[in-house]
Amino acid sequence: MPLYLTHNLRYVSRNLCSHFLRVSVLFRDVTLICEDAEDIWHVYNIIRIGDTVRCSTFRKVTTESNTGSTSSQRVQTNLAICVEATDYDTVGSILHLKGKNVEANAYVKIGAYHTLDLAIGRKFTIYKSEWDSVDIDRLNLAINVVTNADVAAVIMHEGLAHICLLTDTRTVIRAKIDMQIPRKRKGFGSQHDKGIEKFLEAIAVAFVRHIDLTVNIFKFRLLNVLLGFIMDSSVFYLFTLFTNIIWICNSYDAK
């Protein structure tokens, strides 16, 4: 998951590219950012006892002055712990990881216990001695919004369209088509109709380009289109052809 590669669980490690399966085996670590509670759930199922996790955290530090007085303050630092226990807070969508610090740190001794909190929007890195097929499949499932989508939708208005994927928790915009369409004027209706044709063709091309119809095609059960301007009989056949993209692919997959 290079930064913002997907609108789902994102990976931002400089070691990684879109071919996660290949790279994870080579580098044994992945840096992630969770975007919603579903992502936290996936991470909960990926992290195992014995894995090392690093992220930014707060630690209460007590210092003693020359006079013998002590003072405490919370400092922010980066810690890496070897995970010994996990606790998933379903209400707050936070994953608590308890373990011993494994890297030298100015505030925390090696071997000292600490609890890391993995939350939505917080970057963290997971290190594994070996990524097994179960963990890799889970991560690929999390980062691939196409496999999680239940509906492919196109939301249209004259000259503007958004191609979206709908999951249980989010709407992901895969493409935006914004075209200037000539106004329909008396005696110049053909220019308007040609503009509509080009607009619909651009939508169809973008749909095929950004929606992988070879992955769980049966999930694309519905095409939501706000008709509005498209009821003119002169261009309605193009709308019919466009919607048939979904119907044809679903029929082929069902065979």
Q: What is the pLDDT of residue 115?
A: 96
What are the tens digits of pLDDT across the range 228-249? 555 454 345 545 655 565 555 5
What are the tens digits of pLDDT across the range 140-191? 777 776 666 777 777 877 788 888 887 766 777 888 999 988 877 776 667 8
10-11: strand order across its sheet: 10-11, 29-33, 123-127, 52-64, 70-89, 94-101, 113-118
Q: In this structure, what token pair is assigned to residue 10?
A: 């994102």
Residues 116/123, Cβ–Cβ less than 8 Å: no
CA–CA separation, 20 and 7 (whole Å)? 16
Q: What is the pLDDT of residue 247?
A: 56
Secondary structure (3-state) at 155: strand
197 membership: H or E segment, kind and range: helix 189-210
* 11 belongs to a structural domain: no
Residues 55/123, Cβ–Cβ less than 8 Å: yes
- Name residues of the chain where pLDDT drops below 70: 1-27, 145-148, 168-169, 187-189, 213-255
Q: In this structure, what token pair is assigned to residue 144?
A: 């691939």
What is the total count of domains within the chain? 2
Instruction: Give the global pTM.
Output: 0.60
Residue 231 DSSP code: G
What's the N-to-C CA distance of the chain in angstroms? 34
Measured in whole angstroms, how far is the alpha carbon of residue 167 from the centre of its chain? 11
Q: What is the pLDDT of residue 55?
A: 94
Q: What is the pLDDT of residue 52?
A: 96
Q: Which domain-ending residue is among 143, 176, 209?
A: 143
* 169 belongs to a structural domain: yes
Backbone region of residue 54 per phi and psi (left: phi > 0; alpha: psi in -120 to 50; beta: other values): beta
Q: Which domain-ending residue is among 85, 119, 143?
A: 143
128 and 238 assigned to the same domain:
no
Domain that holds residue 31: 24-143
158 and 191 assigned to the same domain:
yes
Q: Which domain-ending residue is among 143, 158, 191?
A: 143
Please give the torsion angle defined by the CA atoms of residues 230, 231, 235 and 240, in that order, rounded to the nearest 10 degrees: 90
Residues 172/242, Cβ–Cβ less than 8 Å: no
